[in-house]
Each structure stands twice: as C-alpha cells, then as structure tokens.
Amino acid sequence: MPDAFADHLNDTPPAGNTLAAYTTLRLGGPAGTLTTAVHADEAIAVVRAASAAGRPVLVLAGGSNVVIGDAGFPGEVLLLRTRGIRVVGEDPAAVVVRAAAGETWDDFVAYAVTNGLSGVECLSGIPGSAGATPIQNVGAYGQEVAHTIVAVHAYDRIAGEVREMSPAECGFGYRASVFKHNDRYLVLDVDFRLEKSGESAPIKYAELARSLGAEAGDRVPLALARDTVLKLRAGKGMVLDPEDRDTWSVGSFFTNPVVTEEVFAALGEMPHWPAGDGMVKLPAAWLIERAGFPKGFAGEGVAISGKHTLALTNRGAGSTAALLDLARVIRDGVRERFGVELHPEPVLINCAI
C-alpha cells in the first residue's frame, strides 16, 4: 500500500492573531505571539524556546475541542499545520498507519476507508486534527481511538526529547488521557493499527445499527458505515458547515456523567449504560432536556443547538463569557433537578465555569 503524503505542507493561516479565527466556536481573544509550524522540528523548536524563556504555550490544530477566553492567551500560540499519512508497519491482517498531528482527522478516516482499512470508520465527520484524538480519546458511535492507537510520538518538554508512548503510557480513559490538561507533551504523530478489511468493525451503537438496518455485532461495508455516520452527525449539527450556526460549537460540551449504582438507583427510571466497576453512565442530553433546557434554549448571542442538546453554539454575535454563562445555567439546573454534576468536555483556556 503506497504512502500518502498531503500536498498542502505550507498551509498558512489567515492574517491577524485573534484566536476566534482558529476555533470551531469562532470565539477567543488575541494571542500574545502566533507562530505556524508545518514540520515537527519547527513545532519542537517553538515549544523548546518558549519553555526556556518561561513563556506559556498553547498548541492549536483544528481548534475543535477548545474554549478560549475573551481575553485570549497571553503567551505563545503554536498553530500546528504538520501533514502526512503513511504506512509504517504491516502484517497479513493489518497495517500500522502513522498520521501527523496536524493532519485533518476526517481526511485520515477517508484515507482509511478508501484503502480498505477498518477501525475508525465510525469516527467519520469528527472535526479537528489527528494529533488531538489521543488527547481526548475521541469516540463516537461505539468506537474510540484508543481501540486502534498503538503508539503516540510526542515531544516531552521535561525530558527534552521525543518519546514513543504505548497505549498504557497514554493512560486512555473515557474522553481522557495523560495528555489532557497536561502541557508536558506535544503530540507529533499517532500510529493506528487498522484491519485490512472492506467491512466495518462490528457495529456496537444501537442508533447506528438501526440506521444501517443491521444488528449489533454486524459488519457492513466501510463506505456505507462512513456515509451513514456522516448523515447522522450532519442531522445533529456535528459536521462543520460555515453557513450553519448549529455547527459553531465544540461538539458535545458536557461529558455523559458516570455515577455509582447506588446514586443511579435513587434517580429513578432513565436511559443508562453500564460503565463497569459498579458504575453507570447517564445520557447528559437527556438530563439537560428534562431539567428544562430544550434545543434552541438561548443566552446572549449563544444557544443550545437546534439539532443537538449537548452542543452549545455561538450564533454569530456571542462571546466566550456568554457561552460559559449558558453552560453554568445548564450545569446548575441539572444539579438542582437530579443531583448529578455535569463536567465540560472541551479544554478551557484562560476561562472557567
């Protein structure tokens, strides 16, 4: 299987240093310094120099899972624009494909599907970069990147060297990893082990199975799985569209809360999933709606998406302060109604709820 390197290594950002231009929310104030890196060595040099000078660094690639305060970020902002997808290992059943951290995630998924590689097809349409996926342990429709990642190559700012980190060292959890809320590591490349197959991994997610006319555990053609996921996501405003304000978001703003079985028993009947070790996962969207916050519930220039209750959106004239005010109202309302705490999924930069 041939290597496939992107032909856009010299992508440059638009003029100006207002960080709203680099996030899917289209919110965020100015950067102290804004630097673009198209090669890993450039990115390492920027981070190393900033660390030596004692200056904080914020790394942005797709900007799809970050909320930046209206005051911006006073330090060094590194725009990671590295590109590249290539096969680095192969056996009769699978290949290991390395994606540069700045590679657009959905382009990587499209590459896998086109080349008959199974394992990430249900993660189609997720915005952002390949390098961001291990940070968040991105997941959707029954798949997580932790299922296929075999190594993350990262610059360790403390050791001053590039490390190859195993899945165990990455510390993957539900929307979590050792990289999240931790500026020690700069992710450079991610290695995925993908099955050589024209069919999807076994379908696990009930909504996707229904849309496919399949049963849980069935496998379907890769292209069909990808197309169906893209349609499902688009219907929820979860595929970026500059003309659709419902997509001006970070996707799901809150994670699904996980509670003990004792807490769940006291809540009464509601949708839920087993989370292992005596824990139960609850649907945040269901809790939000039942607490009195329907789709379209609005704040000042911001609102819950008209398509998906978990997405908080900038309607075009919003601010980060207004978005976080809306998030607090929702969080507090759910706590008052159910006694369950919601936690934000995106990384909050120079702001808090």
Judge whether 27 and 17 are in contact, CB under 8 Å.
no
Which residues are part of the catalytic machinery? 175, 252, 345
Sequence-separated (6 or more) residues with CB below 8 Å from residue 223: 113
Judge whether 293 and 333 are in contact, CB under 8 Å.
yes
Question: Which pair of tokens denotes residue 124?
Answer: 């189609």
* Measured CA distances, 147 to 64, 191, 200, 239, 299 (Å): 21, 12, 13, 23, 38
Cα gap 128→234, rounded to integer Å: 16
Q: In terms of Cα–Cα distance, which of 182, 176, 130 is closest to 153? A: 130
Cα gap 69→102, rounded to integer Å: 23
Cα gap 221→117, rounded to integer Å: 11
Sequence-separated (6 or more) residues with CB below 8 Å from residue 136: 65, 175, 176, 177, 180, 345
Cα gap 195→164, rounded to integer Å: 22
CA atoms within 13 A on the CB side of 189: 22
Collapsed DSSP state (helix, strand, coil) of residue 86: strand
Beginning with the edge strand found earlier in the chain, give each strand of the sheet holding 258-260 in spatial order: 258-260, 279-281, 273-276
DSSP calls for 5-27 = --S-TT--PPSS-BGGGGSTT--
Cα gap 250→25, rounded to integer Å: 6
Q: In terms of Cα–Cα distance, which of 38, 29, 37 is closest to 9? A: 38
Cα–chain center distance at 201:
21
